[in-house]
Each structure stands twice: as structure tokens, then as C-alpha cells.
Amino acid sequence: MFHLNEKIAVVTGGGSGIGKAVAILFARQGAQVHVIDRNEEACDATVKEIQQANGKAFKHACDVTIQQQVKDVFNEIDKIDIVVNSAGVSHIGNVESTTESDFDRVYSVNVKGVYNCMQAAVSIMYKNKSGIILNLASIANNVGLQDRFAYSMSKGAVYAMTLSVARDYIDKGIRCNCISPARVHTSFVDDFIKKNYPGKEAEMFEKLSKSQPIGRMAKPEEIAALILYLCSDEASFITGCDYPIDGGFITLNN
């Protein structure tokens, strides 16, 4: 079950975190994976790790905020079965402390970047009458998170765009879903704690972990496993859905 043999998959943000875990898992399951990341060195590292495990992978240094770059990369790949939009940035701040440049940066990557990739993907998938798009949303779609104004805005938009694309292309053989993770232990989390809480890293890591009812952060590989299912043939009846993967945060954290 859940094999991706002969599938061609594109994973944005594949140089690190969830995107890297998805790229590695997809390759292990038989897909030809095209890894997209603005950081060419990180992108190259993911591809080499896949190739060393006898998987098929190709790197594409690309900034998802620049539409022409995205179109050029997607047209170069040509046939695309699966797109996972994992590229994203975060921001700490409420509506007062969020500057215009902060807001624009988050919007540019998390909203426009997803739009650019979905637009480029759909035009290719439409010709093939099949395709799967999986977007990374967040628990911020469903609950109010403190000091996450711009980030919540962007992930709410991802959820809305997911529903729109799912509805518009349901009769064109294209499925579109999103998932909503809670906090995931990636290098971003470690860097954030180190920058904002020097000398208290262990204490803050434990505090952030315990903010989720299950008592810990998710592993990128756990998020990747859900994405694999939703992008597999076994999930062929699923479209227009958002799947929380949150250690009980939404329903139990009250």
C-alpha cells in the first residue's frame, strides 16, 4: 500500500524540515522526486541523500515567490503527478507589532508562493486529466494562536485556496487537500529557541513541547506519513479536506 511507483512528485521547501522528510519518503516509496528550494545547498543535500539510497531525485533552485521562476521549473519537469507545497516562513507578532514588510514577506512566501505553484501545476495536470496537490496549512486555521497574526493570515489563505482549487477541478481529475500540523520539531524551532531564549533552550523546548496535549512536538517523518497517504491512490476519494495532525491541540487544549 501507499506506493508511488512511476509517479513524478514536486516538493517545495524540500531542503529542510517537513519538505525534506516528504521528499525522502516519496522517493523511498518509488516516486521520482523533484526537490525545490531557494537554498541551493540544502536542496542539493536532500537530493544527494535520496540518490545515495538508490532513489530518484532532481534539484531545482527556485524562489516560489517569483512566478516566472516557478513556471519555468514546472514546465521543465513537464509531467507532474503530485505537488506538495511545503515551502513556508513563520513570524512572531500581533497585529500592532507586525510591520508592513513582515506582513508582505509572510504573504509572499506562504500565500503567493502556494498560488504560484498551484497555478503552474494545475495547467500541467489539467492536460493529463489527473493530479494531486497537497498544501501545508496549520492549526492556525482553526484556533487563535498568540502572536501569530501574519502567519495565521497566511495559513487561513492556504486553507481557503485549497477548497477553491478542489471545487474548481474536481471534475478534471485533480484532487487538492491540505493538512494542519501543530508544532513540529525542525531546525526552525531549534533556531527560534536559540535566538530568543539564550541559555534557556532546554527549558523552552520542554515548555513548547508540553503546550500540546500529547506532550511533545511532532516529528517531520510523522507529518510526511500523512502526506504520503493523502497523495497515494488509497486516498483517491479524498479532496477538499483539511487534516489536523496536532497531538490533540485543537480539540483537547482547552
Average pLDDT over residues 62-73: 98
Please report the pLDDT score of residue 31 as a whole number.
Answer: 98
Contact 18, 136 (CB under 8 A): yes
Dig out the grid coordinates for 224 from the structure.
510526511
Residue 211 has pLDDT above 90, yes or no: no
Average pLDDT over residues 190-215: 90
The chain-wide mean pLDDT, for the chain, equals 96
CB atoms inside a 10 Å sphere around CB 130: 12
Average pLDDT over residues 150-176: 98
In a domain? residue 128: yes
From residue 250, give the alpha-carbon distance in Å to each of 140, 219, 246, 254. Answer: 9, 18, 7, 8
Residue 254 has pLDDT above 80, yes or no: no
Higher-pLDDT residue of 195 and 248 is 248
Active site residue 151: yes
In a domain? residue 166: yes
Average pLDDT over residues 207-214: 91
User: Backbone dihedral region of 94: left (phi > 0), alpha (psi from -120 to 50 degrees) or beta?
Assistant: beta
* Domain span including residue 18: 8-184+219-252
Please report the pLDDT score of residue 191 as a whole number.
Answer: 85
Helix (H) or strand (E) holding 166: helix 149-168
- Evaluate the CA torsion angle 3, 248, 202, 196 in order and state its sign: positive
pLDDT digits (tens, 9 = 90+) for 21-34: 999 999 999 999 99
Average pLDDT over residues 139-158: 95
Average pLDDT over residues 181-193: 90
User: Backbone dihedral region of 220: left (phi > 0), alpha (psi from -120 to 50 degrees) or beta?
Assistant: alpha
Closest of 167, 192, 16 to residue 90, by C-alpha: 192
Percent of the chain scored above 70 by pLDDT?
Answer: 100
Dig out the grid coordinates for 143 from the structure.
484556533
pLDDT digits (tens, 9 = 90+) for 1-12: 999 999 999 999
Dig out the grid coordinates for 106 from the structure.
509572510
In a domain? residue 195: no
Cα 39 from Cα 61, distance rounded (Å): 7
pLDDT digits (tens, 9 = 90+) for 88-101: 999 989 999 999 99
Helix (H) or strand (E) holding 10: strand 8-12
In a domain? residue 194: no
Please report the pLDDT score of residue 189 as a whole number.
Answer: 87
Percent of the chain scored above 90 by pLDDT?
Answer: 91
In a domain? residue 199: no
Cα 177 from Cα 238, distance rounded (Å): 8
Please report the pLDDT score of residue 57 as a whole number.
Answer: 98
In a domain? residue 214: no
Q: State how many domains the chain has.
A: 1
Average pLDDT over residues 53-71: 98
**The CATH number of the domain where 245 resides is what?**
3.40.50.720
Question: Which of 115, 151, 159, 169 is an active site residue?
Answer: 151
Helices 17-28 & 220-230, crossing angle to 10 degrees? 50
Helix (H) or strand (E) holding 100: helix 100-106
Contact 98, 105 (CB under 8 A): no
Cα 52 from Cα 41, distance rounded (Å): 16
In a domain? residue 54: yes
In a domain? residue 120: yes
